[in-house]
Chain A
Amino acid sequence: MSVLAITEHRRGSLRDVSYELVTVGRELADELGEDLELAVIGGDVDSFASDVNREGVDTIYTVDEGEEFNHGIYAQAIEQLHAELDPSALLMPNSVNGLDYAPAVAESLDLPLVTDVIGLEGGSPVEVTREQYGGKVETTYDIGEDQFAITIRSAEWPQAEADGDAAIEAVDVDIDESALGSTVNGFEEVGGGDVDITEADVLVSIGRGIEEEENLPLVEELADALGATLSSSRPIVDNGWLPKNRQVGQSGKVVTPDVYIAIGISGAVQHVAGMKGADTIIAINKDPNAPIYDLADYGIVDDLFEVVPELIEEFGGEAPDI
């Protein structure tokens, strides 16, 4: 038996999670006493295979089908590889595309599926850790079957760096074209515009704690007083209160300012994906258990409507009437 991990690429490059899968896959394979196998599906498979040929990988299977991700091709290819290789663990990324094929593959192979895994311990049974209730608690699960499927949260494991000497093997799979029910027509970048929050040294970032659009001038005033740029979590953009180019996170922008002031933001994993690289993180949040405090360097556990007006005054500004 083996551990089989499915790499991910987009528009000509392997995504970081592919290298993370090597690390977590090797750890699990060691604990189970098995080989680590990778699959590279679609695109420039040979160059992807040589990129991901890192230390700890035993075999890399390349499946030269399709240019970009298509979940139908992925599902069919993985199902056939699984039948042939009979791995114990099937590891996939908990990315947007991972979530577009992993549940279907698990379902069709009749494998138990646990998603968004942040900890993994090989044994009998294998134990996995995940977060629930918006990151306020962690839970562990035993998987009582020898074969299972897991999706891995990105950036939880380090990327494998050292070169490896895996065997690279091209595999032919039979893709039933008539069963492909979706067609990818292209890509579009979104979120351009006037301000580039990725360039800012100081970000004042606001989340759902602001409650109403009418309250936004409060944080605008603070950003002004600090000479900072205003950014936000996703709900603010979903509500149309700020344009898309202000959104920090997995589906927004990745920012690396010197100072990031997160106000009324819980610190959901998809938000954290965009701001954890900030040099100094300061949180203002009334919930002492908010996950943002796991990341913050400094914090004020209090009502933002109390703290922010005081702060504005500290810098000689005037808090707007809201």
Chain B
Amino acid sequence: MKILVTVKEVAEVDDEFDISGLDIADSSLEYDLNEWDDYAVEEAVQISEDNDDVEVVSVTIGPERSEETIRMALAKGADRAIRVWDDSLEDAQFLDVDTKAEILAAVAEEEDPDFILSGVQAGDDANGATGVALAEKLDFEWAAVVNALDLDADAGVASVRRELEGGVEELTDVDLPAVLTIQTGINEPRYASLRGIRQAQRKPLDAQGLDDIGLDADVVESPVERTDMYEPESEGDATLWEGDASDTASELAEFLRDKGVVES
């Protein structure tokens, strides 16, 4: 059995940051493995540990820098990794859902996995749509926002729980092959062990261009164009208590006493 896991390197913004043009300045960004993908990787690795002959392959759309993040996924137990990038992706203003789905689908067609795990969303763009769009492209079944997975590979069915709003879960059977988008809390992602990190250096990480996966540069073209990025005007009119911690704490304490939360 082969499981493909989509792994994204996400940008995290410093507390103080600058905007440069239509994006946050690179100097204000740090990069990390997308939180939701971390859970997807863990789920795939646990399945591979509980079953014989499971291969876990990660796929990333990202520049060379993202190899650091990809090595994290390998250190946690993915068997090998594919990274797609080239100049046309580098030059694109941003990649829309359709572009990402098309690239991931091209890799999936090549790899022919039994199913695909993807994070519910990426922490930076928060489109929350790539996994389901990918399923549609591949003509796979799917389920979004999965927080429990029970796989019956022989029957070709994944029994999942989908976490709806307000503490309600939906119990659903999904035919394989499928794309499942994984919600945090489904498992406890492991830390990469030192041994894992060492082994990850030797695992295959295959860098591919659009050409290699049978796509041309048009794939980055999007009818959607980013026109502005700005810090939202604070709608808030919060009163900020200032000073050192003992000053601010005493202001807050006084407020809570005045409010009658605590007796004076």
- Chain B residues whose CB sits within 8 angstroms of the CB of A112 once the complex forms: 96, 98, 222-224
Bitwise, B91-127 to A at CB < 8 A (1) or not (0) is: 0000011100100000000000000000010011111
In the complex the two chains form, is A99's CB within 8 Å of B17's CB? no
Tell me the residues in window 142-164 of chain B with beta carbons closer than 8 Å to chain A beta carbons: 142-145, 161-164
- Cα A280 to Cα B258 in complex, Å, equals 13
Residue B209 CB within 8 A of the other chain: no
Contact indicator B252/A298 (Cβ below 8 Å): yes
Which B residues are CB-close (under 8 A) to A11? 168
Known: A112-B223, A299-B239. A99 touches B167 (CB 8 A): no
Q: Is the interface of B mostly helix, strand, loop or mixed?
A: mixed
SS of A interface (majority): mixed
Tell me if B240 counts as interface (CB < 8 A to partner A). yes
Tier of interface size on chain B: 35 or more
Question: Would you call A96 and B162 a contact (CB within 8 A)?
Answer: yes
Which among B97, B163, B235 has the greatest number of chain A C-beta atoms within 10 A? B97
List A contacts of B132 (CB < 8 A). Answer: 99-104, 107
Interface bits B193-209 vs A (CB < 8 Å: 1, else 0): 00000000000000000
Q: What per-residue 1/0 map shows which CB atoms of B9-51 lie under 8 Å from chain A?
A: 0011101110100101000000000000000000000000000
A177 interface hit (Cβ, 8 Å): no
Separation of A313 and B250 alpha carbons in the complex (Å): 10
Q: State which of B11, B16, B120, B227 has its C-beta within 8 Å of the C-beta of A141.
A: B227
4 nearest A-B residue pairs (beta carbon):
A181-B141, A310-B249, A314-B253, A306-B245
Binding site for B on A (CB under 8 A): 10-11, 71, 94-97, 99-104, 106-108, 112-116, 127, 131-145, 148, 181-191, 202, 225-228, 234-235, 237-240, 244, 250-254, 258-259, 273, 280, 282-283, 286-289, 293-303, 306-307, 310-311, 313-315
Interface positions of B (Cβ within 8 A of A) = 11-13, 15-17, 19, 22, 24, 96-98, 101, 120, 123-133, 135-137, 141-145, 161-175, 178, 184-185, 188, 222-232, 234-236, 238-241, 244-246, 248-250, 252-253, 255-256, 259, 261-262
